[in-house]
A and B are shown apart, each in its own frame.
Chain A
């Protein structure tokens, strides 16, 4: 029930030999799930009543205890309260039952667990450009809980594996009875079972998207923002792949648990158009969002830059800069170039550092690297000024002695 689960490799699955069967099974087109139909299936204070769901919830108790006590959580009371407030706004009937945890993992993801606690990855906060987008992802995760997706997909999987086990056994026994070896058919049936499992999973993701669109519209966020997240993800993956001179992994279509980003985006646009009320004033609450993440934004950017994925990092920084450049973004742009270290990157980095220090929010490190770049260029008088600025901002810098020596 994650926003972007790890994708199954289509190639590895097809290596099993079911290509013919697979191509037969893809013909069916799927009608779009409409937000209007996505009514919550549970009310406030939901507790499971069926045996299988009670068992699932019990297992999750320890998982939540582990998550809640993890040392990977970002322990920022204000930020956590902010996230809690958002899920409290877009959580539908279960709004007050949800728990939300922020994990320090520089990836674009969020996960909802069956008992109603969500884990937001810090990489998500880096990528969201306003509160509406973040609320969209959180609303999607709430949708999984409100539509009871975990237990529904577990039951679906159980039913299908039961049917397959019985079918395989009956086929074996019946085949043996008439003297036919049914092994190949059994394999095809297995592939069919697998395909329909993935289909179910794509369907519930589409349900969660439609539910999410509905929830953020009710909370007064512009519903179209959710589709924009997908456009941004597609572009980021393309940029990352282009740098590595590869194609974006297109292992999405047949064996994907989530709809392909493209079709998901198209559906989300349609969902957004469905739920948008003409004349209603929507607010993406961008200022509030930037304010909430301000304290950790340098860390978020630093995490991303150190992933050594310059294609994606550059794209992300430029995307964030569409809302206006600042010292922090320029500094990290310089870091992307400097760490990439291709021909001419030192000059590009020097330009970024020089641009960064013009802004009042330039981090101390921007001054430091600006100084080093100037020193390399032989402009030592200016370099000394930059170093002095660095030391003034960070008198206890671990490299303060070295910087003073450079200043001569």
Chain B
């Protein structure tokens, strides 16, 4: 059901968040279909409802969603995404609502989003969380959304669909003060400055709407254990551009394509 669907999406984010060690750094790991070639030239890309949340990290470590920050981040990301795609030569359409794609009904788009969420969840479990499948070893990214995606492509005329999730936190003054207190404790032997700071988690998946296959998937996690230290702030144009660059601009071709290129050389 729908409630479960949204819970699933946040569960996915949670699982991804936990999967990466709690080091203060930026980590990124991408997988691609063996035959994947990063889209270039004259292609049409549909970006479905970028899922952006920015919250405040409370003293106690809870995340309080902030509407104004989320809106700022969403517009910054959308602008950065447009700029990035313009540089690559693609035509990009970013939709915020399910009824904005001509030729496709809101319920068809909802089906696509829900199916994709399940497929993404499977990719995360079997590619990122260590539950590797023997049948998929050496096959790169071997998942498909199937006929639903093909039919979306046929009806809408787009070549690719991109799904994007970004969540970021800003440590509250209280959280920073808590770390300062922990640092002060170092003097007496109770050293705990690393109470856990703001974490940014982004992931994206690219679906080929001609074949229905998920051809590329990437996760970026930028976090610090010390509140107050940030690795890019999604609310700012620079931070959003940095996120888009980390997440989308370093697409590597699939293993088979890369091998071929090497051999030709």
Which chain A residues have a beta carbon within 8 Å of chain B's beta carbons? 51-52, 54-59, 62-63, 65-72, 103, 105, 111, 119, 154, 157-158, 160-166, 169-170, 172-173, 175-177
Q: Is the CB of A158 within 8 A of B62?
A: yes
**Is B64 part of the binding interface, using a Cβ–Cβ cutoff of 8 Å?**
yes
- C-alpha spacing A132/B5, complex, angstroms: 32
Contact of B2 among A66, A158, A166 (CB under 8 A): A66
Contact A166 B1 (CB under 8 A): no
Q: B98, A65: Cβ atoms under 8 Å?
A: yes
- The reply to whether the CB of B106 lies closer than 8 angstroms to some CB of chain A is yes
Cβ of B2 and Cβ of A165 under 8 Å apart? no
Q: Establish whether residues B192 and A169, one from each chain, have CB atoms under 8 Å apart when the complex forms.
A: yes
Contact B184 A70 (CB under 8 A): no
Bound: A1/B118 CA distance, A: 27
B181 near A170 (CB under 8 angstroms)? yes
Smallest Cβ-Cβ distance to A104: which chain B residue: B1
Q: Which residues of B contact A160 (CB under 8 A)?
A: 60
The residues of B with any CB-CB pair to A shorter than 8 Å are 1-3, 5-6, 51, 53, 55, 58-62, 64-68, 70, 98, 106-107, 110, 174, 178, 181-182, 184-185, 188-190, 192, 195
Complex Cα spacing A67 to B6, Å: 9
Chain B residue with the shortest CB-CB distance to A57: B67
Contact of B62 with A69 in the complex, beta carbons under 8 Å: no
Are A70 and B181 in touch, CB under 8 angstroms?
no
Residue of B nearest to A171 (CB): B190
Given contacts A57-B67, A169-B178, contact A66 B5 (CB under 8 A): yes
Q: Are A176 and B1 in contact (CB under 8 A)?
A: no
- Can you list 10 pairs linking A and B with CB atoms under 8 Å apart? A56-B65, A58-B70, A72-B2, A154-B64, A157-B62, A158-B64, A166-B59, A172-B185, A173-B185, A176-B190
Given contacts A72-B2, A173-B181, A175-B190, contact A161 B65 (CB under 8 A): no
Cβ-neighbour of B58 out of A62, A158, A173, A177 (below 8 A): A158
Q: Is the CB of B64 within 8 A of A69?
A: no
Are A169 and B182 closer than 8 Å at their CB atoms?
Answer: yes
Q: How far is the CA of A68 from the CA of B5 in the complex (A)?
A: 12
Please measure, in the bound complex, the distance between the C-alpha atom of A69 and the C-alpha atom of B188, giving whole angstroms: 57
**In the complex, A67 Cα to B4 Cα: how many Å?**
9
Using Cβ atoms and an 8 Å threshold, which residues of chain B touch A69? Answer: 2, 98, 106-107, 110
Residues of B within 8 Å of A55, CB to CB, are 55, 64-67, 70
Contacts A62-B6, A103-B1 hold; do A165 and B64 have CB atoms under 8 A apart?
no
Task: Write the chain A residue with the least CB distance to B71.
Answer: A58
The closest CB in chain B to the CB of A154 belongs to B64
In the bound complex, residues from chain A placing their C-beta under 8 Å from that of B53 are: 59
When the two chains form the complex, which single residue of B5, B66, B192 contacts A51, counting CB atoms closer than 8 Å? B66
- Known: A57-B67, A70-B1. Is A63-B6 also a contact (CB below 8 A)? yes
* Bound: A158/B106 CA distance, A: 37
Q: Which residue of A lies closest to B7 (CB)?
A: A63
Complex Cα spacing A239 to B182, Å: 54
**Given A51-B67, A59-B53, A158-B62, 10 other A-B contacts at CB below 8 A?**
A54-B66, A55-B67, A55-B70, A63-B3, A66-B6, A69-B110, A161-B62, A162-B58, A162-B59, A177-B188
Closest chain-B Cβ to A246's Cβ sits at a distance in Å of 27
Shortest Cβ gap from A158 to chain B (Å) = 5
Taking CB atoms, residues of chain B closer than 8 Å to A176 are 185, 188-190
A300 shortest CB reach to chain B, Å: 17
Report B-chain residues with C-beta under 8 Å of the C-beta of A71: 107
What residues of chain B lie closer than 8 Å to A72, measured between beta carbons?
Answer: 1-2
Given contact pairs A162-B174, A176-B188, A119 touches B181 in the complex (Cβ within 8 A): no
Given A66-B6, A103-B1, A161-B61: A172 and B70 within 8 A (CB)? no
With A161-B62, A173-B184 as contacts: A166 and B3 at CB distance below 8 Å? no
In contact, B58 and A169 (Cβ under 8 angstroms): no
